[in-house]
Structure 1
Amino acid sequence: MKILFVHQNMPGQYREMIQWLAAQKEHQLVFLTQRHPAPQFEGLKTVQYRPHQRAAEDAYGLSKVWEDATGSGFGAAMAARKLEREEGFKPDIILGHTGWGELLFMKDIWPDVPVLGFFEYYYLNEGGPVGFDPEDPPSEHSRFLLRARNAVPNANLDAVDLGTVPTRWQMESFPKRFHDHFYCCHDGIRTDLLKPNPDVSLSLGRLDRPITRDDEVLTFMARNLERTRGFHVFMRALPEILDARPDARVLVIGGNGTSYGKASTHKGGLRGEMEEELGHRVDWSRVHFLGQVPYEAYQQVIQISRCHLYLTMPFVLSWSCLEAMAMGATMVATDVAPVREAITHGETGLLVDFFDPHTLAKQVVEVLARPGDYAHLGPNARAHVVEHYDFLTRCLPEHLTRMNGLVPSAAQIKLP
């Protein structure tokens, strides 16, 4: 099969898919992206495209996202047309993310080529992160901005033949008119590669010996340390946790930028803001901010954890939540709808109120102090992810079946 992937920040949700397809050595794979330099994958041709135009900084707010989306869409379409004219490449199917407009004009290049679009989120004025935290109230204009932003997924509904959504909560964020055009299936977690490791050890510059599973380690991870992912709640729970557990160490993975929501105005980002708020109440010598680390180091941090925190407002479920579960972590997470889809309290993890740092601290202290009482949670969490989210046995077959349903029989992919 000839497959064109489109994602402005490759590989995105297609990381596992492209590697599996390339390993079959039966398919011609091309990835269209803005990312430069782009990561290289064996058996995959990468083509960079440039947006035709980006919205100016002072562009009208209600149309700025749409202007960026059409600029990306037109740039991607011109790159696709060039691929056909100069290299003779015409895909049997196109897979791409709908969020940045890159798929908007693909049907104008290849009207007869099916498009399978990844739909991630429909911006909600209620029920999502906007207005969830009283410390960050929405502006009086937010509902207008969100409605305008949803012009992109609305237009993409007509630009694709089929849509995929990774979780039921994300599907429910979209209006009902979308649902008949969607199927729900996660991107997939490589549970065959992400496993517990009782022999893991980790060296930190401040310590005179490696830490192991015998140490009392609390972990927190987010792409960026921001409010949407509950970093401020985690930080406010730290004084009580560290006071109660004098041997505990805290490992924090994440950058100091903002992926979602409003950025902190503090010069040190939200981390600097929280460090200033907490001051001497935290023993900073036992808190290790690791930044954004290589994937192997991230795995070691999770594998060494006695208690792993996954805190989030109601928003897109992070890969890291399911990956940590696959590695057998004892999870303490916020009790919001997208998390409840993956974690059942007392069975596969522990859920706490997002707005209650004291209850969060109390729950973490209990896990750190009595790990044996919670030893069933990690294995149960892993079993749940293997059953429902495993890439090779659960997600890949579903995605391939859906892809095959859009192409002629001669182009279909053999199911594993």
Structure 2
Amino acid sequence: MDVLFIHQAFPAQFGRLALELSRRYGWRCRFLVETYSSCPTPSGEMLEALEIHRVRDPRETPKGGVPWPRVFGRWLEQCLAYRSAYEGTIGDDRPDLIVAHGGQGAPIALLRELADAPIVNYCEYYFPNRFADLTYRVDLPPAELAPFYPRCINAPTLLALQASDAGYAPTRFQHDSFPERYRPEIEVHFDGVDTELYRPREVPSIALPDGRTLGPGRPVVTYVSRGLESMRGFDLFVEVAGRIARGRPDAVFVVAGAGTTYYGWDDHATGGADFRSWSMAKHGADASRFAFLGHVEPGVLAAVLARSDLHLFPSVPFVPSWSLFNAMASGCVVLGADVEPVREVIEEGRTGLLAPLFDAERWADRALEVLDRPGDFEGIGRAAAARIRGRYGLDSCVPDLRDYFERVASRGRVDGR
């Protein structure tokens, strides 16, 4: 099988999957991408085994991002750039299947007539208009454009759905975010967690960037997010951490992620300050109790999570973060927000713990229970790791996605698109 993956960034959701398809089944996997990402970073094995073609978009993205009324027009310009790249790099060497991220990350609208292979749409998320993701944080100042932005950002998603022959979403929550009329055409197939890397193991100590070493017996509470932002509840984490610190003066809070807002308008709350600094100041956090790692390599993150005594995931209802799955795979006791996408993964009291998102006192009480009586919660960490291995691990997900891709490829193009 010859598969062309299309995504704005590499490796993103497709890099590890393509490597596994190549390594396990001998598939030829090619990519059209604009950039290499830093979260996660591409491995040397990926760069060596996969054929990666860079798309040169002549238009620069404005500092601060594309203004929301121009999102759709900018996406169409990207579509033209990807069409040109396809003609120049793929040409007559046509793939058997095209797999593309169906949001802004995969400008495929102009490829359908050029490429005769079936197109599979990776349906990551469809933004609702209110009280979810961007508008769930009712405790923060609302952004004036919040009701309008989802319609603009969903426009490329809708056009990608129309341009594709099949679609899949990683979780049931993501599947159900799409309008009901499209759901019958979207299947659920998860990406796959590397449970050889993220697994329970003994990590006696961790050397921190500031020179400190976290040795045995020191309680470690972790938080991981691509960006330290309100959508992932970083400020809520800081508030809870302060309460935990008062009850456990020996606890250390290890944070992985960039001080960047990727989603939403946190500057409306901060007055222009970065959200990390604003959150620390707002809650009077003792910086000496925190270790900020920034973006880290997967091997470093895996060691940190294996050493973690408790992982906090105070996210709004949104795409479930890879960090949630990685922490569970590592055997962490995860305390997550009691919202739909987290409930899909965590079974309360069995594979993790849940608390109402805005109830900092409840979060702190549950966290202290775990830190004060770790033996009572060891079974939860073991059950979490087993659940990820059995349902979300690469050994389960890669064969499932292989079968799905082969099925779509054998079915061919859908008429009338």
What letter matches 2:248 in structure 1?
R
1:96-139 alpha-carbon deviations (Å, 9 max, x no partner): 111114211221211x2111110111111134223211233544
Paired positions, count: 403
Change (3 A) 1:213 1:389: farther
CA distance in 1, matches of 2:310, 2:327: 10
Q: For residue 172 of structure 2, what is the aligned residue in structure 1? A: 168
Asked if the contact 1:22–1:42 (Cα under 8 Å) also holds between the matched residues in 2, the reply is no
CA distance in 1, matches of 2:63, 2:300: 37
Structure 1: any 5+ residue segments left out of the alignment? 410-416
Structure 2: any 5+ residue segments left out of the alignment? 412-417
What letter matches 2:72 in structure 1?
W
Q: For residue 190 of structure 1, what is the aligned residue in structure 2? A: 194
In structure 1, the residue corresponding to 2:350 is in which secondary structure?
coil
Change (3 A) 1:381 1:106: same
Change (3 A) 1:26 1:130: closer
CA distance in 1, matches of 2:63, 2:287: 39
CA distance in 2, matches of 1:298, 1:3: 30
Change (3 A) 1:302 1:73: same
Q: For residue 414 of structure 2, what is the aligned residue in structure 1? A: none
Q: For residue 113 of structure 1, what is the aligned residue in structure 2? A: 117
Shift of 1:206: 4.9
CA distance in 2, matches of 1:47, 1:103: 15
CA distance in 1, matches of 2:170, 2:25: 27
Q: For residue 84 of structure 2, what is the aligned residue in structure 1? A: 78
CA distance in 1, matches of 2:12, 2:66: 29
Change (3 A) 1:60 1:3: closer
Asked if the contact 1:348–1:380 (Cα under 8 Å) also holds between the matched residues in 2, the reply is yes
Shift of 1:61: 5.5
CA distance in 2, matches of 1:11, 1:406: 23
Q: For residue 286 of structure 2, what is the aligned residue in structure 1? A: 283
Indicate the RMSD between aligned Cα atoms, in angstroms. 2.4
Change (3 A) 1:344 1:368: same
Shift of 1:365: 1.2
Identity %: 31
CA distance in 2, matches of 1:2, 1:120: 23
In structure 2, the residue corresponding to 1:42 is in which secondary structure?
helix
Alignment of 1:62-141 (within 5 A): 63-85=69-91, 88-100=92-104, 101-110=106-115, 112-139=116-143, 141=145
CA distance in 2, matches of 1:28, 1:375: 42
Change (3 A) 1:360 1:248: same
The runs of 4+ residues in structure 1 deviating greater than 6 Å are 54-60
What letter matches 1:21 in structure 2?
L
What letter matches 2:114 in structure 1?
I
1:224-262 alpha-carbon deviations (Å, 9 max, x no partner): 111000101111122221111011111111110111111
Change (3 A) 1:325 1:140: same
Change (3 A) 1:178 1:213: farther
Shift of 1:381: 0.5
Asked if the contact 2:197–2:302 (Cα under 8 Å) also holds between the matched residues in 1, the reply is no
